[in-house]
């Protein structure tokens, strides 16, 4: 009876593929830097929107349009930095089975 577990273990090891390899990949630490840059871009967008409203209030519509375009560029840059921060903050576990 004691030989059966040994044979069962040997058969299991012989029939199973090689051991799985577990790879843990943490984020690279740049998430905080990207979050900071995203905050800076969002604040710049808010400043530009405020200036656009001020320009429009005094009749400077060309200046208002320029400030609004700047605000949109800053907002797009902020969203880009937020996506980069999200990507950098996501670590993961990868399991590879095979040789």
> For residues 83 and 11, which has the higher predicted lDDT (pLDDT)?
83
| In contact, 88 and 34? CB cutoff 8 Å | yes
What percent of the chain is predicted at pLDDT more than 90? 46
**pLDDT tens digits along 24-70:** 555 566 788 888 999 999 999 999 999 999 999 999 999 999 999 99
Answer yes or no: pTM beyond 0.75.
Answer: no
Separation between Cα atoms, residue 73 and residue 62, nearest integer Å = 17
Separation between Cα atoms, residue 96 and residue 17, nearest integer Å = 11
| In contact, 67 and 52? CB cutoff 8 Å | yes
- Domain residue spans of the chain: 3-96
Q: How many residues does the chain have?
A: 99
**pLDDT tens digits along 64-99:** 999 999 999 999 999 999 988 888 777 555 555 555
Structure tokens at 15: 């029939």
The reported pLDDT for the residue numbered 92 is 54
């Amino acid at each position: 009876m004691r030989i059966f577990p040994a044979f069962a273990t040997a058969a299991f090891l012989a029939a199973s593929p090689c051991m799985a390899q577990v790879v843990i990949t943490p984020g690279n630490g740049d998430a905080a830097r990207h979050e900071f840059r995203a905050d800076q871009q969002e604040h710049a967008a808010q400043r530009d929107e405020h200036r656009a409203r001020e320009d429009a209030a005094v009749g400077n519509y060309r200046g208002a349009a320029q400030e609004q375009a700047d605000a949109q560029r800053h907002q797009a840059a902020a969203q880009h930095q937020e996506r980069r921060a999200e990507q950098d903050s996501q670590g993961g576990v990868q399991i590879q089975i095979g040789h």
